[in-house]
A and B are shown apart, each in its own frame.
Chain A
């Protein structure tokens, strides 16, 4: 069965003056949770805000739930929920007041009291928005995005700066949304967030999608795994390489710290340890690492994600 994508972006270009923020970006998001991952300034927010109808593309086409976000905004708006990176609330409004307000703009909103309890916003009491903590402000923004029972929710950096407990609460809600058939597009620069939540990850750098797939696919494809061990400094790398399969690489990273990369399987581990035995080396701290999205990202872009 062919599933209609919730978001289709083709050849999107978005410029701000001389600066090109989005540079011919293609992105298709299927129903489920799609994470848009990339460093600051990669074009994540520009892309998402174009999907939300805030920005007019300089070139390319954008379709959200099959609609043009600018021309068919009136039709699209009730069907999407939006969480901005910050702000969006009257500084003098209380959390429950603002949430009830947004609920009233929709035909069949969620039960506001239940949502307040679910996100722990009850403790905000009569405090006005400007005096809420950053975490409370973020949870309110999330609640505002989902209260109207949308089909598709856009979350821009939903857990940036949250403590671990609040992050998990946010993740749980996002998973519940998915389970109930709501699609989610989230931008993040947290690898673990993308790995934990997303069905599909699109890695963006310099205004383009440079890789897309499930977290497993991205970690498997292209990226190799790593075996590390320590021993005495100055081992004969050339001799080790001869023992290894031809597609493997080996290096002494710092004196006494060795890395073998390639297809790491039980056979390779055995080869390395027997080579060590032959050369009278006791390999210590031997470890096998599966590549993470972080490594994939580093390989693709040559950049650290956080920095």
Chain B
């Protein structure tokens, strides 16, 4: 193609059909890159995924407001804030973004592009994972600077993060694909706040009454923060119980999202 002839208002053959889809990996990669760019450009999303977790980590490590038990506060807080970071991206951020994409016809329009629907979902997942890597790197660096000394096996941590991402993605997409965008926005933020307080992120679960503890312990955020804490703070082996809870949430959430998600 020569740019010289393309630019002229009436150039014969410029628009001659040459239909075809780009190779699938390229489509998914470009889609994931755009989604990540949109997220990083959005102020509210950054507040949720970067500013709030960072502030909580720094603030509560420096100021002794909540009783985080024996040992350094950062050793208790860092795993909880990592869990919060996963929730903020995979659940809250993804739900809100996808809800508005649905509302503004982005999902609809992409539905007639060569990118298949499962490819779009794969790109969303990839974008969530890329964002989480950035979050984990940032929070880890900050935690180390606050004197964090993590224990345990990186494999167990990775497994927890992945299952946590799957569980929260399913729930976020279920919300985005069934509720109105405004309702998703409100509900996703509310759930984020409630789980931040009641999910063992910065407030240890044993501060709650016994009856509440057993219920709260089954929440995906509690399973993720508890599992990460067992491994990173106490050097435990595979936290099978927490992995099990996350796996159940992932299966239920993704299954329901797959069944009930509406594209328009």
Contact = CB atoms under 8 A, between A and B. Distances in A.
Contacts of B1: 111
Given A91-B100, A92-B41, A114-B3, A77 B112 contact: yes
B172 to A, nearest CB: 17
B245 to A, nearest CB: 34
- Which of B9, B26, B114, B116 has the most CB atoms of chain A within a 10 A radius of its CB? B114
A236 interface: no
A108 B20 contact: yes
Interface residues of A, number: 45
A118 interface: yes
Interface stretch (A158-166, A176-184, A270-278, A288-296): A176-184
Interface of A: 52-54, 74, 77-80, 82, 84, 86-93, 97, 101-102, 104-108, 110-111, 113-114, 117-118, 144, 146, 148-151, 172, 176-177, 179-182
B12 A105 contact: no
Interface stretch (B77-85, B102-110, B153-161): B102-110
Contact of B19 (A54, A86, A150, A179): A150
Contacts of B6: 110-111, 114
Contact of B21 (A77, A117, A180): A77
Contacts of A54: 108, 111-112, 264
Interface of B: 1, 3, 6-7, 9-10, 12-22, 26-27, 30-31, 34, 37-38, 41-42, 100-101, 104-106, 108-109, 111-116, 264
B114 A149 contact: no
B30 A150 contact: no
Contact of A105 (B3, B17, B113): B113
A150 B114 CA distance: 11
A251 B67 CA distance: 95
6 closest A-B pairs (Cβ-Cβ)?
Answer: A107-B20, A87-B105, A88-B109, A114-B6, A180-B15, A78-B21
B22 A91 contact: no
Contacts of B38: 90, 92-93
